[in-house]
Amino acid sequence: MIKVGIVGGTGYTGVELLRLLAQHPQARVEVITSRSEDGVKVADLYPNLRGHYDGLAFSVPDVNRLGACDVVFFATPHGVAHALAGELLATGTRIIDLSADFRLRDAEEWSRWYGQPHGAPQLLEQAVYGLPEVNREAIRSAQLIAVPGCYPTATQLGLIPLLEAGLADPAQLIADCKSGVSGAGRGASVGSLLCEASESMKAYAVAGHRHLPEIRQGLNLAAGQPVGLTFVPHLTPMIRGIHATLYANVKDRSVDLQALFEQRYAAEPFVDVMPAGSHPETRSVKGANTCRIAVHRPQGGDLVVVLSVIDNLVKGASGQAVQNMNIAMGLEETLGLSHPALMP
């Protein structure tokens, strides 16, 4: 049985981790931390988990207790994992970080986008970017895994087949993405209030979103050269979900794009390439660790449109984190993650 610790278990990604791990046959949560909820039972804060974690309570982070775990998840805001990661790695435990702390390879670029110095630049070299569809082999032996963000997951999975095949013009890529309100986190803010977010949709961070350098980093690797990417995120009045509408110029019209995508993801348990002409919906992945993709060439022109949908809290965060744990611990990759999406 894998002994699991969770740092920062009171946010949406933390409770999603608890929900997923409650049905994992080879994992048991031993420690969950929260300074603000120290001593509070998990089942009291999250009644949906009654009967699963009745003996587990939040506690203040303690390196000795966390270091006794086989795997420690960080479900924290950026900057928190910097402070504890080095000490925990020294104990031999694996770290799976859901924050942005170790996603970018360049510490200076991280500092520019996150507005503070990187707290553990010496660990970046050993951090593995946890997108299994790209880095599965590196994840197997990784001690420090950086779980991709939600927008980056949906966008990269949608564009990688075109870039790897050298088909898309790397200088002109557009990611037009929509997110549910849970992507903003559980903390109280005016923009997340029902009266503010309901029955409305808006773009934000058009000048530059923190996920832009992460997406660009992954697409650069897929293309083998720098890409030109315009990324525009939107807030939509739903709780969960990412819908990425992706645009790329593909002048070679002789290529069977449907076959290209199907072949690229044929062995991937959590990527579903839908039949030609499909329009995947966010509700079709709600609660599931699945990315559904459809590829279109409207009017047979040069502009290819890829539709990519995920649940931002599952494949975009906690589900992908558990998927990484399964790979790193030598388990069946789908263990605890094979449940279908919720409908309606």
> CATH no. for residue 244?
3.30.360.10
> Exposure of 1 by Cβ count < 10 A (0-12 exposed, 13-18 middle, 19+ buried)?
exposed
**Count of C-beta atoms within a 10 Å radius of residue 325:** 29
- CA nearest 316: which of 207, 157, 95, 159? 157
Q: Is the pTM of this model over 0.75?
A: yes
Q: Is residue 185 part of a domain?
A: yes
Amino acid at 328: A
Look at residues 129, 159, 181 and tell me which one is the last residue of a structural domain.
129
Residues 291 and 167 both lie in one domain: yes
Residues 155 and 297 both lie in one domain: yes
DSSP 44-60: HH-GGGTTTSTT-BEE-
Q: How far apart are CA 172 and CA 174, in angstroms?
A: 7
Residues 80 and 119 both lie in one domain: yes
Task: Please state, in angstroms and as integers, the Cα–Cα distance from residue 102 to each residue in 52, 130, 146, following that order.
Answer: 31, 10, 5
User: What are the tokens at 241?
Assistant: 């979900």
Residues 155 and 245 both lie in one domain: yes
Local confidence pLDDT in tens for the 344 residues of the chain: 999 999 998 899 999 999 999 999 999 999 999 998 999 999 999 999 999 998 999 999 999 999 999 999 999 999 999 999 999 999 999 999 999 999 999 999 999 999 999 999 999 999 999 999 999 999 999 999 999 999 999 999 999 999 999 999 999 999 999 999 988 777 767 878 888 888 999 999 999 999 999 999 999 999 999 999 999 999 999 999 999 999 999 999 999 999 999 999 999 999 999 999 999 999 999 999 999 999 999 999 999 999 999 999 999 999 999 999 999 999 999 999 999 999 88
Q: Is residue 326 part of a domain?
A: no
Residue 142 neighbours by CB under 8 Å, 6+ apart: 94, 126, 127, 128, 130, 328
Q: Is residue 136 part of a domain?
A: no
Residue 188's pLDDT is 67
Q: Residue 17: give the domain boundaries.
A: 2-129
Residues 189 and 246 both lie in one domain: yes
Residues 95 and 25 both lie in one domain: yes
Q: Is residue 140 part of a domain?
A: no
Task: Please state, in angstroms and as integers, the Cα–Cα distance from residue 223 to each residue in 165, 216, 279, 338, following that order.
Answer: 8, 10, 26, 31
Residues 299 and 192 both lie in one domain: yes
DSSP 132: H
User: b/e for 101-130, b at 16 or more Cβ within 10 A?
Assistant: bbbbbebeebeebbeeebbbeebbeebbbb
Residue 281's pLDDT is 98
Q: What is the number of domains present in the chain?
A: 2
Residues 164 and 309 both lie in one domain: yes
Residues 64 and 184 both lie in one domain: no
- CA nearest 176: which of 147, 200, 155, 192? 155
Q: Is residue 250 part of a domain?
A: yes
Amino acid at 28: R
Amino acid at 303: L
Catalytic annotation present for 150: yes
Q: Is residue 234 part of a domain?
A: yes
The label of the residue with tokens 């997923």 reads: 20
Residues 90 and 229 both lie in one domain: no
Catalytic one among 69, 150, 177, 291? 150
User: What is the domain-level CATH number for residue 13?
Assistant: 3.40.50.720
Residues 177 and 286 both lie in one domain: yes
The label of the residue with tokens 């931002």 reads: 312
Residue 191's pLDDT is 79
Residues 109 and 258 both lie in one domain: no
- What phi, psi does 135 have (nearest 5°)? -115, 25
Q: Is residue 318 part of a domain?
A: no
- CA nearest 334: which of 285, 271, 276? 271
Q: What angle do CA 105, 111, 116 make, to 5 degrees?
A: 140
Q: Is residue 113 part of a domain?
A: yes
